[in-house]
Amino acid sequence: MNQLTEQIYQRVCRLDPDQKEFQQAVYTFLLSMDRIVDELPEVTYHKVIERMVEPERAIIFRVPWMDDEGRLQINRGFRVQQSSALGPYKGGLRFHPSVNLSIMKFLAFEQVFKNSLTGLPMGGGKGGSDFDPKGKSDAEVMRFCQSFMNELFRHIGPDTDVPAGDIGVGGREVGFLFGQYKKITNSFTGVLTGKGQSFGGSLIRPEATGYGLVYFCNEILAGEGRKLEGSTCLVSGSGNVAQFTVEKLNAFGAKVVTLSDSSGMIYDEEGITPEKLAYVKQLKNVKRGRISEYAEKYKGVTYVPRTGNGANPIWDIKADYAFPCATQNEINAEDAANLVKNGIKLVGEGANMPCAAEAERLFLDKGVLLAPSKAANAGGVAVSGLEMSQNSMRLKWTSQEVDQRLQNIMKGIYESAKSAADRYSEHNNFVDGANIAGFLKVADAMIAQGYV
Ligand code: NDP
Ligand code: 2IT
């Protein structure tokens, strides 16, 4: 690292020594900044990076709610408002027991550059709670969401901060959150995205992250004379992003042989066909069951339960392309070595920061095409941005129209990341390319807006 970025990193570690995920996101970002800081004295002069690593605001609040047995439960709620340089704070809400300030800050930090890459006027933020929706009744989830919104509402608004979904927050939760916001404020506005189709949601928003990931990776592969058609793919996770990644990979003529959840993975050598995917959607979104049930339903499918923190067997299956779509750091150094050993050609990050820093380094060193999350999974927030536009105009675009815009946005992100990589880093280093292209726009806006 050069002197400036090293100092910034040391300060972040000194101020928040326990925020490992946040430190990791900042560290890998700063490595890209090393490529440009010497060329951009105004960035140093205006302390742009120093300001960026400090959220504009971070809110932590108590969320009391009553379970079905009439017992009071207390969770912790968060909203990290990282940057409003390009527009209202924008980013998802995550409900998962692992949620803490470090995870919220890493996600909010990444979101700023991701949103910048989309080209839409959105700042960056993230929020959530350590609430675990697993095993909770609909009524419990509703009471939790209402209590969460009883505090969050005063910090958000259609021109201030527009939350959406993430892990553990899908259509059901967004609906409950929206209903409570509407009741408290007596206003029907586009304050959340990912809403239901009957009350302002955009068509293609549920599909957008997975579809966008595949569109983006397809661009990278086409640039290398490769294609998805006829390939074998690994997908992890089995939630929103994983499901629509499989759907679009199938549409491109690829074969997907894996899915997973936090309990284990399935390996289906025959491929997860559209019919089997329909079963997964029902299983995960309606029945809220476990992926192990897939192996009970379909013959010839192997289920491997997850044990410990070592190598994950899902990344030791031979395939052409891998799409981690579950959570952060799901590919560690050992997993990356297994993927490289088996000749993986591309890793497309559907989840946010799914590769540990050492894994990312290994892929770049070994010439594996790495599609970094802040570019590759930007389709979700991009269509959220389109939902905001439709809400402001009080109209609704067709699926074809939204999908076409999504494809154009993903192509645009590919082109900006590629040209930033070619100019400042190495050919096909989309990690540097995405960081730099995302950064430059935010930096420009921050300098123009003065020291705020
Ligand atoms: P969902 O809640 O729909 O699905 C999450 C999936 O990942 C589930 O299969 C879940 O398994 C698994 N998972 C979650 N946490 C862990 C963990 N700690 N260890 C192992 N498996 C885990 O979430 P999404 O599909 O929306 O999100 C997946 C990833 O994509 C996240 O990184 C998210 O930040 C990112 N993302 C999401 C976007 C969106 O629009 N939804 C947009 C951009 C990025 P289980 O059911 O057992 O918990
Ligand atoms: O990580 C992400 O980009 C999201 N969870 C989607 C955010 C959004 O505002 O749609």
pLDDT in tens, 2-23: 999 999 999 999 999 999 999 9
Per-residue pLDDT band for 309 (boundaries 50, 70, 90) equals: confident
Question: Is any atom of ligand 2 closer than 6 Å to the C-beta of 90?
Answer: yes
Question: Is any atom of ligand 1 closer than 6 Å to the C-beta of 353?
Answer: no
Q: Is the dihedral of CA 78, 200, 169, 409 positive or negative?
A: negative
Mutation to probe ligand 1, out of 327, 332, 406 (largest number of atoms < 8 A from CB): 327
Question: Is any atom of ligand 1 closer than 6 Å to the C-beta of 352?
Answer: yes
The contacts of residue 313 (CB under 8 Å, 6+ apart) are 265, 304
Strand order in the sheet with 264-268: 258-261, 264-268, 301-305
The rounded Å distance from CA 74 to ligand 2 centre is 26
Looking at the chain, the whole-number percentage of residues with pLDDT higher than 90 is 99
Least Cα distance to 369 among 333, 326, 338, 323 occurs for: 323
Answer yes or no: is pLDDT of 420 > 90.
yes
Determine the Cα–Cα distance for residues 178 and 181; give it in Å rounded to an integer. 5
Contact 108, 82 (CB under 8 A): yes
Distances (CA, A) of 359 to 190, 276, 373, 395, 428: 39, 31, 14, 44, 17
Q: Is 418 a catalytic residue?
A: no
Question: Is any atom of ligand 1 closer than 6 Å to the C-beta of 329?
Answer: no
Strand order in the sheet with 161-164: 57-66, 72-83, 124-129, 89-95, 161-164
Residue of 105, 114, 126, 374 with catalytic role:
126
Domains of the chain: 3-188 (3.40.50.10860), 208-371 (3.40.50.720)
Answer yes or no: is pLDDT of 306 > 90.
yes
370 three-state secondary structure:
strand
Per-residue pLDDT band for 243 (boundaries 50, 70, 90) equals: very high
Contact 204, 405 (CB under 8 A): no
Question: Is any atom of ligand 2 closer than 6 Å to the C-beta of 349?
Answer: no
Tokens of 61: 């609040």
Per-residue pLDDT band for 308 (boundaries 50, 70, 90) equals: confident
What pLDDT shows up at residue 433? 98
What pLDDT shows up at residue 403? 98
The rounded Å distance from CA 125 to ligand 2 centre is 9
pLDDT tens figures, 140-161: 999 999 999 999 999 999 999 9
The residues that bridge with 74 in the sheet, in sequence order, are: 64
What pLDDT shows up at residue 380? 98
Tokens of 219: 């661009």
Answer yes or no: is pLDDT of 25 > 90.
yes
Average pLDDT over residues 391-420: 98
Mean residue pLDDT across the chain: 98
Average pLDDT over residues 350-363: 98
Answer whether 0.75 is exceeded by the pTM: yes
Answer yes or no: is pLDDT of 426 > 90.
yes
The full DSSP string for 182-213 is HHHHT-----SSS--GGGTPPTTHHHHHHHHH
Per-residue pLDDT band for 268 (boundaries 50, 70, 90) equals: very high
Least Cα distance to 412 among 128, 118, 184, 177 occurs for: 118
253 three-state secondary structure:
coil
Cα Rg of the chain, angstroms? 21
Strand order in the sheet with 369-371: 255-256, 232-235, 321-323, 346-348, 369-371
Instruction: Give the burial class of 114: count Cβ atoms within 10 A of its Cβ; 0-12 exposed, 13-18 middle, 19 or more buried.
Output: buried
What pLDDT shows up at residue 63? 99
Average pLDDT over residues 162-191: 98
In ligand 1, the atom with minimum distance to the C-alpha of 354 is 32
For ligand 1, atom 36, the nearest C-alpha belongs to 351
